Amino acid sequence: MARVVAAMSGGVDSSVVAALLHEQGHEVIGVHMKLHDAPDPDKAGHCCGLDDALDARSVADRLGIAFHVLDLREAFRKAVMEDLSKTYLAGATPNPCIQCNGVLKFRVLLNRAIALGAESLATGHYAQITEGPGLARALDHDKDQSYFLFPMSHEALSRTLFPLGGMTKTEVRAHAHRLGLVTADKAESQEICFIPDQDHGRFIAEQHPGVDGSGDIVDSSGRVLGQHKGYWRYTVGQRRGLGVAAPFKLYVERVEPDTKRVVVGGAEGLWHTGLVASRWTWMDRPEPGEIVSARIRHNGHLVAASIDDGEKLVTVRFEDPVWAVAPGQAVVLYRGDQVLGGGWIRRAVEDKA
């Protein structure tokens, strides 16, 4: 059977991936990516701590497979950590998980797997690789992670295995128990693994100590409603943490890095009929005008949409308005379960619903 590198985070999903491939007779090489220096090994709730590496190693030892830790801290810092700061500083909302998948896992790690003589890289993502090769939603739509995987190249798809794409989480845990894996009952990992307290505002302030992002909170007419301590703490659609009293609920409408203003308003101001996105990855680009489904955030609803014939900048038009288009996030297009492509949101289309 083939040599396969299994990315082992130390969680239950990737543990089961390694175990199932081993059971099928593949020569499985367990690899744990060291992505950053965990602030405190005892606070291992995040994906890259020492405890997670040791859990992954325990699973590999139990299976009797090779296991190695690869130090990818430099690549991770450049592609994910610095991208997070840069994007927030530009007034947008980054998606570090997509960056990590697109660059770290399915470019750097995949290259390394090939350099180690492996035919493919296997991960614990819930998504399916189809003929073509193409990318499709997981059988279990509730667990589907295809939104996070759109930057995968054709070559990456052809050398990747997602063994869990046709399973439910319950089935995965059942496999973990059947195989006696120590990670069987581990909790799900957190959102931003390198910011354990999830306070990205603090992280950016620490990374850029000389930068003062404080400014005014204003309404759409420019009236000052209050002050904030850093515009990068705000995301389009955010309601909490504004500290402004108003007779109706206020949401962040826009973040302006040049003026450091955070523009707020009522929910009605956040409905958009379209968006413009760049840096597209296409698996199967739809014709202009064809009605497909679009998703503008993970776990967001699929909405009917169509695209124009733009090259670098592509405009996505929604059949019905969507709420809170956040620059920096991704838009991913689907036909049924099939991923057609995805791009990074630059801005909402200005004409409001």
Contacting residues toward other proteins, per CB under 8 A:
3, 29, 31-32, 34, 50, 53-54, 57, 66-71, 75, 78-79, 103-104, 107-108, 111-112, 114-117, 279
Amino acid at the residue 189: S
The pair of structure tokens assigned to 311 is 């090259």
- CA distances from residue 317 to 222, 271, 273, 353 in whole angstroms, order as listed: 29, 12, 6, 12
For the bound state, the minimum distance from the C-beta of residue 348 to other proteins, rounded and expressed in Å, comes to: 24
The DSSP element (H or E) to which 319 belongs, if any, is strand 314-323
Nearer to other proteins, 56 or 176 (CB): 56
Closest CA to 257 of 144, 91, 82: 91
For the bound state, the minimum distance from the C-beta of residue 99 to other proteins, rounded and expressed in Å, comes to: 10
For the bound state, the minimum distance from the C-beta of residue 165 to other proteins, rounded and expressed in Å, comes to: 26
Q: Would you give the distance in Å from CA 281 to the centre of its chain? A: 15
The pair of structure tokens assigned to 266 is 């009522």
For the bound state, the minimum distance from the C-beta of residue 76 to other proteins, rounded and expressed in Å, comes to: 9
Nearer to other proteins, 31 or 97 (CB): 31
The pair of structure tokens assigned to 297 is 């955030």
Active site residues: 100, 193
The pair of structure tokens assigned to 332 is 């991913």
The single-letter DSSP state of residue 153 is -
For the bound state, the minimum distance from the C-beta of residue 95 to other proteins, rounded and expressed in Å, comes to: 15
Nearer to other proteins, 68 or 298 (CB): 68
Q: Would you give the distance in Å from CA 13 to the centre of its chain? A: 17
Q: Under the phi-then-psi rule, with left for phi > 0, alpha for psi from -120 to 50, and beta for the rest, what region is 14?
A: alpha
Nearer to other proteins, 74 or 131 (CB): 74
Nearer to other proteins, 92 or 236 (CB): 92
Amino acid at the residue 249: K
Reduced to 3 states, what is the DSSP secondary structure of residue 63?
Answer: helix
For the bound state, the minimum distance from the C-beta of residue 112 to other proteins, rounded and expressed in Å, comes to: 6
Nearer to other proteins, 79 or 305 (CB): 79
The owner of tokens 């193409």 is 134
Q: Is the dihedral of CA 336, 337, 339, 344 positive or negative?
A: positive
